[in-house]
Amino acid sequence: MRRNGREPVEERGASATFKRTRRLRRSAALRGLVRETALTAGDFIYPMFVVEGERVRNPIGSMPGQFQHSVDQLGAEVDELRSLGIPGVLLFGIPAVKDAAASGAYDDEGIVQRAVREIKRHDPAMLVITDVCACEYTDHGHCGVLGDGEVDNDRTLPLLARTAVSLAAAGADVVAPSDMMDGRVGTIRAALDAAGFSVVPILSYAAKYASAFYGPFREAVASAPAFGDRRSHQMDPGNVREAMTEIAIDLEEGADFVIIKPALAYLDVIRVARERFDVPIFAYNVSGEYAMVKAAAERGWIDERRVTLETLIAIKRAGAGRLITYHAKDAARWLAEERAMAHTLTAASATHD
């Protein structure tokens, strides 16, 4: 007889009494029954890069499987995402010309503005989130207007506000400022409200670290700073309390939800934020995290599928409700295969009973 999950000593011999936690791991069905965190394609937001031109699909060297797409390619991409169950995209643009004022960022005919309109025309229900930052549009690669050799915070704010309004006018469902300037969320909120876009939410990259994991992204959009780095505005990797301050400030200024970025080296930040704040928290599984998995998988050093799904579930388990990830399409396909497999197994065991 068993009591409290323990084997009585008399039945097991003198060996010991112990708890049998393995009982709940014996079969796929049992493991599924007690799994605390599950991934679905609906958890993913897929980041995409948009370039000028027609019929362009440029592979990004350091991000195998990712491309720069011209606007005319977006309809097909969105169809694929929809068929995989992925609900949204996060758009980045590579403009034809970059200048000191980042004018491509707030041009109503800019690359991302046109991309938003094309996606919304093609599939109005596809969720379109647009990054708001100057770094893809400045010739020097910095996140704002320069003054005295550094990013001038206060002169950058109107540029960001104008960009957000222009993207909202193009039809963006959500704007996501990633620049880490002080006061940006409040400035953007006020500008959106004044322009009649009080319904457009702000997804703020509230806790964005100065990270080497953004390396491949900067190749993808050619946004590496011409001099210096981003440590004067992005956060120091040693800090977690400071991330909570950043999130609190952004929420106070009017952010509706927040991003923590990168994800994998910052799972503790996600966890602490999840416990502290009652708003949706997204994690950005960034380009360098993706590139490492791809590189090791190409060499046959790791099992790409298992490592990817394990990575994504870890980010969700840490407390992120949604994941912005370049793995989105692959992961959605693998999850669909797993579901199909589970059904086959269940059906097979049912017929054998």
- Which tokens is 170 given? 């193009």
Known catalytic residue: 208?
yes
- Residues in CB range of 226: below 8 A, 6 or more apart: 139, 140, 141, 142
Which of 43, 107, 118, 131 binds ligand PBG (CB under 6 A)? It is 131
User: Considering only residues 154-183, where is the footprint of ligand PBG by CB under 6 A?
Assistant: 178
Q: For residues 70 and 287, which CB has a smaller minimum distance to ligand PBG in the complex?
A: 287
Decide: 81 and 116 in contact? Cβ < 8 Å.
no
Q: Which of 19, 98, 261, 329 is catalytic?
A: 261
- Which tokens is 35 given? 């799994």
Under DSSP, is residue 259 helix (H, G, I), strand (E, B) or coil?
A: strand
Q: For residues 200 and 324, which CB has a smaller minimum distance to ligand PBG in the complex?
A: 324
| Interface mask toward ligand PBG for 219-248; x: CB under 6 A | -----------x------------------
Distance between CA atoms of 56 and 134, rounded to whole angstroms? Answer: 23
Q: How many residues bind ligand PBG (CB under 6 A)?
A: 11
Residue 343: strand pairing partners: none
Q: For residues 38 and 204, which CB has a smaller minimum distance to ligand PBG in the complex?
A: 204
Q: Which of 19, 98, 120, 208 is catalytic?
A: 208
CA 350 to chain centre: 40
Contact between 91 and ligand PBG per CB under 6 A: no
Q: What are phi and psi of 208, to 5 degrees?
A: -120, 120
Contact between 89 and ligand PBG per CB under 6 A: no
- Residues in CB range of 126: below 8 A, 6 or more apart: 78, 81, 82, 87, 88, 89, 119, 120
Q: Which residue has the tokens 């991003």?
A: 259
Which of 46, 49, 197, 214 binds ligand PBG (CB under 6 A)? It is 214
Contact between 77 and ligand PBG per CB under 6 A: no
Q: For residues 197 and 326, which CB has a smaller minimum distance to ligand PBG in the complex?
A: 326
User: Considering only residues 279-298, where is the footprint of ligand PBG by CB under 6 A?
Assistant: 286-287
Contact between 217 and ligand PBG per CB under 6 A: yes
Distance between CA atoms of 223 and 204, rounded to whole angstroms? Answer: 20
Decide: 54 and 70 in contact? Cβ < 8 Å.
yes
Q: For residues 20 and 328, which CB has a smaller minimum distance to ligand PBG in the complex?
A: 328
Query: Least CB distance from residue 181 to ligand PBG, whole Å?
Result: 12
Contact between 46 and ligand PBG per CB under 6 A: no
Decide: 317 and 273 in contact? Cβ < 8 Å.
no
Under DSSP, is residue 114 helix (H, G, I), strand (E, B) or coil?
A: helix
Known catalytic residue: 261?
yes
- Residues in CB range of 153: below 8 A, 6 or more apart: 144, 181, 182, 183, 233
User: Considering only residues 247-286, where is the footprint of ligand PBG by CB under 6 A?
Assistant: 286
Q: For residues 93 and 319, which CB has a smaller minimum distance to ligand PBG in the complex?
A: 93
- Binding residues for ligand PBG, per CB under 6 A? 131, 133, 135-136, 178, 214, 217-218, 230, 286-287
Q: Which residues are catalytic?
A: 208, 261
